[in-house]
Structure 1
Amino acid sequence: METLSYQDVNMGVVDRCREGDNRAQYELYKLYAKAMFNVSMRITNDYAEAEDVLQEAFISAFKNLHSYKAEASFGSWLKKIVVNAAINAIRKRRSELVPMDERLAGEVPDEINNDEDTEWQVEKVRKAIQKLPDGYRIVLSLYLLEGFDHAEIGEILGITESTSKSQFSRAKKKLLEIMREPQFAA
């Protein structure tokens, strides 16, 4: 049986970066900056901070390029660096996850079927997500938008998997409350 191996399409650029080629670093930056800025922005919810996180993440990536083993795409590896840098920026602001009360964790239904849900516009949802408390917004963004599972989120944030699930459930409930506010309902 033949074994398939992963081949990163940008490996040539990565190799040139490892050799100290500044043009290759700029090329990687151009390839990934916009997407990584969006990841950072969704987590930090602050434009200037997202820019700082992006810069720190690229500096860290270039300094630690020797540790990239090409087991996944360079973009996936870089995304983890960006997510961690954004989480650290949030922690520096001394923002904490919303306190947990396990008794309430099961009160939010997993799915909400409502005809209004299908009518919400992407921009309204984006603005509502920005209004979420940091802890809710981070877990919701990591799970829904960045594709991490709750175990990975727990590892990233230093919380349990069940806490991540509960935060996500509460974030959905809070998001619905925000979406029902008069300025969003119109």
Structure 2
Amino acid sequence: MTLYPDNLENTPVTNQIVVRCRKGDVRAYRELYEAYSKAMYNICLRMTGYSADAEDVLQEAFVQVFKNLDKLATDSSLTAWIKRIVVNHCLSYLRKKKVYFEEVGETEYEEENKVDESEHAMTVSAVKEAIGQLPDGYRTVINLYLFEEYSHREIASLLGISESTVKTQYMRAKERVRQLVKIKTREV
């Protein structure tokens, strides 16, 4: 039985799986893992940039999920709780790799340039490929902002850097993605 987070959040099925996990039911652990692992793997892959690293981080995160299920409040969102654990493990991995975030002053941050994006044939695969080519710091910020929907302030807090640095990293990452996609579309 395959379950998906979008359609099982806070349902009796989900609550039953959590209760069974808390009682040590091995099958329930597997069901929970199967329900969430694909979505969480995608987060890990976007954040780490490498499938082997993503798999390792995912496994470590789920070990923590299983160890701490008893700490999950019954009215909490299971998906958000698991996602927070996964993102934190990804950030720990990146810190161990010593990902560099260039600290900038408030004056270096410029407002977004309005670009007619329709002139670029931005396909999903080209954008994903371009994001995968970004330096770790840029990739981390753009993934947290665009895909995980964290605010600049939340990202700054998670990474221990200033909000202006997050904004600058995001703007530079976006511009680099545009450049890489533009190059890619010329090649095609």
Which category describes the TM-score, using the shorter chain as reference length?
Answer: 0.7 to 0.9
2:152 maps to which of 144, 150, 159: 150
Q: State percent identity of aligned pairs.
A: 41
**Distance of 1:71 and 1:165 partners within structure 2:** 33
- TM-fit CA distance, 1:103: 3.9
- TM-fit CA distance, 1:160: 2.4
Q: Corresponding residue for 1:134?
A: 136
**Distance of 1:134 and 1:42 partners within structure 2:** 10
Q: Corresponding residue for 1:166?
A: 168
Does 2:116 align with 1:113? yes
How many positions carry a matched residue from both structures?
A: 177
Cα pair distance change 1:148/1:107, threshold 3 Å: closer
> Which residue identity does 1:68 align to in structure 2?
L
Flag structure 2 segments of 5+ consecutive residues without an equivalent. Answer: 1-8
The RMSD of aligned alpha carbons is 1.8
TM-score by length of 1: 0.87
2:53 maps to which of 43, 49, 73: 49
Q: Corresponding residue for 1:100?
A: 104
**Distance of 1:16 and 1:126 partners within structure 2:** 38
**Distance of 1:175 and 1:99 partners within structure 2:** 21
> Which residue identity does 1:64 align to in structure 2?
N
After superposition, what is the alpha-carbon deviation per residue over 1:76-123, rounded to whole angstroms, capped at 9, x for unaligned? 1100111110111111112212343544321642x3224323x21111
Flag structure 1 segments of 5+ consecutive residues without an equivalent. Answer: 1-6
Q: Corresponding residue for 1:64?
A: 68
- Following superposition of structure 1 onto structure 2, how do residues 82-93 of structure 1 map, counting pairs within 5 Å? 82-93=86-97
